[in-house]
Amino acid sequence: MPYQRYIHAVLILASVCLAVVGAVNLRVDPLGLFSWDSAFAEDLARAALEGKDMAIEGGNLEDRRLTISLLRDKNYPFDVVSVGSSRTMQLRENSFPFAKFYNHALWGSIIVDYLGVKYLLGERNVPPRMVVIGADPWIFNAHARQIRWWPLFPQAQRELAHLSPRLDWQTHLRLQARYFLDYQKILVEKLTQLFSYPYLKRSYEKIVECRCLEGASLKAGETSNDLSPSLIKRHDGSVANPIAARVRPAAEVRQEAEGFARSPNFYSYENYSRMDPDLQELFEALVADLRASGTEIVILLAPFHPIAYDGMMHRADGRITA
């Protein structure tokens, strides 16, 4: 019937359009969301082991892939490590002059990242002498919208199973279900973004900018210049942001801090009215397990900018920070 042929034609056209959108977004991938060069991660890991600082440009550094490559390298020598978010990334080896230190802090890190890193450390069968844990307020927020942990999900799953004897069985089941469902949601979100118009628009802008079908292409080169215009991944894992982000007028920094305090939702503070008891129990189990292996634990409480902190304290939804 005519209307059936019309429906079939519409479906075929829609399928072709989606296929074209997906193919362009996957090929250009302007933000590097769907592609990661494993050889690049291995090269960065090798550079760290050789004591080289690397200037990185051209896209998003997938630091979790780097962490996996580094921790699985047979020459990994570090006996003091740190985990945490970008607020922990400034911790450097000069704070531990009598140890081999590496900073495993990850952008947007939450407890599930800590689980993944701990599992990879455990695979080495030599527990670290010390672990510095960056305890950001949002790691106990069950509603924090952090999704960057997904590359470490397999390791985190195994570590959660390892910690199960230290957890109430109901807590363990709830955490298992939470992380599994969150992982599925992340995969769906990534698939949706692959076929989305906003990402196609970014791809188009990238094509126009470079006049090619190449998207985010990470490049790294050894550097000794700590004032580089590029992001620097130091050999101890710490990060130096591009110089333009570090050297700014005081008025600009103040304006940004005030804007943060006025923002409708603080970073990862979505619906944060109380510390989640399951996440608290998981954190305590993780710390207890590390201590049981002879590892010393240091909790790092990185400060907020004073203006941002004062502004948060004047709001009911910010006082969970205290």
The parts of the chain modelled with pLDDT lower than 70 are 1-4, 6, 8-11, 13-22, 24-38, 58-60, 197, 203-204, 207-218, 317-322
Closest alpha carbon to 243 in 261, 226, 268: 226
What is residue 247's predicted lDDT score, i.e. its pLDDT? 85
What is residue 218's predicted lDDT score, i.e. its pLDDT? 65
Closest alpha carbon to 196 in 8, 9, 32, 17: 17
What is residue 111's predicted lDDT score, i.e. its pLDDT? 96
Predicted TM-score (pTM) of this structure? 0.86
What is residue 225's predicted lDDT score, i.e. its pLDDT? 79
What is residue 211's predicted lDDT score, i.e. its pLDDT? 52
What is the chain's length? 322
Q: Where are the domains of the chain?
A: 35-193+210-244+276-306
Alpha carbon separation from 193 to 29, 186, 202, 240 (Å, rounded): 11, 10, 11, 30
CA 109 – CA 219 distance, rounded (Å): 24
137-183 pLDDT, tens digit each: 889 988 888 888 999 999 999 999 999 999 999 999 999 999 999 98
Give per-residue burial for 12-26: e unless 16+ CB within 10 Å, then b: eeeeeeeeebbebbb
State the angle between helix axes of 169-194 and 277-292 in degrees (0 to 180), rounded to the nearest 10. Answer: 110
State the angle between helix axes of 169-194 and 153-163 in degrees (0 to 180), rounded to the nearest 10. Answer: 170
The DSSP element (H or E) to which 231 belongs, if any, is strand 231-233
Strand-pair partners of 130: 80, 296
Per-residue tokens: 296: 């010393």
What is residue 130's predicted lDDT score, i.e. its pLDDT? 96
